A and B are shown apart, each in its own frame.
Chain A
């Protein structure tokens, strides 16, 4: 927080508090600027997709929300409360572990390479967090995990270890595992990028159902423009660590205003 001219509130208040707010957030690796004074709001229940060339900072945005990356400047708020910082004597200071653990309970994430726990069955993967972190009884956690596995179409494979599951199946279990923690914000980081083309649909169907049936706030990074168009409320095009252009899918994809957006989209459409 080097820029003294920006006022970072201790808390966001009012009728329209966004579920996620990035305020002037920057991230650098040495000389490389990954995020450059980013401002981004995501409303509660909104589905926002981030697209852009590799190295544009898209994944970093999600990783920061999951507290997997530290930020260099700015503040991120979740559900009105600061995530990267906390209040101390009326001032914002860097969040400590306890604060981050409290805030992290509102956030769930699915990864490109699934990252299921290989020594646990699909069911155990979905019970681990509820039992170990939330302190829910095993019976209750099992019941809830089975419901979620049912929802993602994996109930029949609940006793299988990840090594016995296909990529699409593993990713569906990973979505159930994240949902078992009852997050308010779900992050999908290129969840179909490591999948064979014929199983991508299993995973996108699950995400589509989530969007239709739940009021979760979701942020998704993807290269699948068609899928993004279909389910997003808004698409943000990232370039050089900033939002170059954003808007509803039809506006951004069909009538992009910026040159860079046009170039990126035509390159993606050509590739497809």
Chain B
């Protein structure tokens, strides 16, 4: 039924493997942005200053309620009109980082809110500052229950990198499209892209589960 050509497959493999590196770079870079920005968004919603909380809350809701693809287009094509001229890579990482930061901030928020009032009061009773309480008491305990959610979004951000192909980031999907257009053959490149995604996603999900268990053990939180 399929006309699978092995010669063609082998000939395009090096280009796809090279593009895999770029995909991983996009996913890793975007995730890094999301991890840091997400924590800032989560903590900003917990300040006593209500206007900030409200603005950040709405921002997070806005980002979560609009498609990533639209955000990618918006930053890349509309950005220059407001003086924001970004390369495809920078625009792509900004969009995907910001998008996932909104999701991760909810994961962090859930983790932080799962820590009981007693821990805050105990920290207050030994006269810890708010910053030290977050750093030493709250975040270490909020981390293990958040790892599963954080890991899901790591795999999610990886699978969403093809969205960046639309603004010309030379990742896997973009490369597969190019190969297809050059050779009028789409079966092999797209199949390989699928297999490569699978080969990375599955072990990654497994590693996340291992990491969660290891973190719990290290913090003495597993019974």
A contact set with B: CB distance below 8 Å: 66-68, 101, 104-105, 107-109, 111, 113, 115-121, 128-129, 132-133, 161, 163, 174, 177-178, 180-181
Contact = CB atoms under 8 A, between A and B. Distances in A.
A68 B121 contact: yes
B1 interface: no
Interface of B: 118-119, 121-122, 124-129, 132, 136-137, 140-141, 219-221, 223
Contacts of B136: 128, 132
B223 A119 contact: no
Contact of B124 (A104, A116, A161): A104
Contacts of B125: 66, 68, 107-109, 111, 178
Contacts of B140: 119
B220 A129 contact: no
A129 B127 contact: yes
A111 B128 contact: no
B121 A115 contact: yes
Closest 10 CB pairs of A and B: A129-B126, A161-B220, A115-B122, A115-B118, A119-B219, A109-B125, A104-B127, A133-B127, A119-B140, A105-B127
Interface centre among B121, B125, B220, by most chain A C-beta atoms within 10 angstroms, is B125
A181 B126 contact: yes
16 contacts: A66-B125, A68-B124, A108-B125, A109-B125, A111-B125, A113-B118, A115-B119, A116-B122, A117-B141, A118-B141, A118-B220, A118-B221, A120-B220, A129-B127, A132-B128, A181-B126
A156 B136 CA distance: 25
Given A115-B121, A117-B137, A180-B126, 5 more contacts: A68-B124, A119-B140, A128-B126, A163-B220, A178-B126
A101 B220 contact: no
Contacts of A117: 119, 122, 137, 141
Contacts of A120: 220
A133 B122 contact: no
A54 B177 CA distance: 72
A250 to B, nearest CB: 32
B131 to A, nearest CB: 11
Contacts of B223: 163
Nearest to A132: B132
A105 B121 CA distance: 14
Contacts of A181: 126-127
